[in-house]
Structure 1
């Protein structure tokens, strides 16, 4: 009966499995950096505020244009 893989192929398969398992366990048991998450939330909050202020500016400009046309 022949073996399906040579010794070298089995070594690479086992090595790949061990490395994949280590990366999987590391991703499960490590905690994300909380300071990076807080910075991302602050940046997103600032972008939302900026978009709201831009919408207000656009509305006021349109109102001024309509008033100028009426005069």
Structure 2
């Protein structure tokens, strides 16, 4: 990963975050949760490039006839 800063949480940090919410999970699941959380953080950090005011693509409305009529 070049050009991107990465924030990787370790097992103890994720265990602490879960404990703050009242969760206790087995060690083997903690490894998977930590990997998933790190992947989620990395993926969401890539969204910064779009900015807060970018237009989102909208799907084509099936059956749209115009004049504020969708049906």
Q: Name the TM-score class by shorter chain.
A: 0.3 to 0.5
Please give the TM-score of this superposition, normalised by the length of structure 2: 0.34
Q: Using CA pairs under 8 Å that are at least 6 residues apart, name the structure with larger relative contact order, 1 or 2.
A: 2
Q: Rg bigger for which structure?
A: 1
Tell me which protein shows more helix as a share of its residues: 1
Please give the TM-score of this superposition, normalised by the length of structure 1: 0.34
